[in-house]
């Protein structure tokens, strides 16, 4: 009886570890693509907002966001961070 429970716990740990490893790989692929000014591959939601002084491309992935600014009022070109970062307005 204990043996079957231990096997289930072991398989659950393996599955959880595999999911975490796949997530880390997706995160780093998108991070390095963003640093090379390429679009991320693993976006769940993509949006492009237009402003008077340019555009902002946003990509929401699994646990992270990326913003690419093409605006004269924003001093940075790219932000990549956790899902709770907000778009810069100025």
DSSP secondary structure, 55-90, as one string: EEEEEE-SSEEEEEEEESS-S-SEEEEETT------
For residue 67, with 0-12 CB atoms within 10 Å meaning exposed, 13-18 middle and 19 or more buried, which class applies?
A: buried
pLDDT in tens, 32-74: 998 898 888 999 999 999 988 889 999 998 889 999 988 888 8
pTM above 0.85, yes or no: no
Is the pLDDT assigned to residue 24 strictly greater than 60? yes
């Amino acid at each position: 009886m204990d043996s079957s429970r231990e096997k289930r716990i072991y398989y659950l740990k393996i599955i959880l570890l595999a999911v975490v490893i796949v997530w880390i790989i997706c995160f780093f692929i998108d991070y390095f693509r963003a640093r090379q000014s390429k679009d991320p591959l693993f976006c769940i939601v993509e949006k492009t907002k237009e402003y008077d002084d340019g555009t902002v491309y946003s990509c929401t992935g699994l646990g992270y966001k990326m913003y690419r600014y093409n605006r004269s009022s924003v001093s940075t070109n790219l932000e990549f961070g956790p899902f709770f970062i907000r778009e810069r307005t100025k």
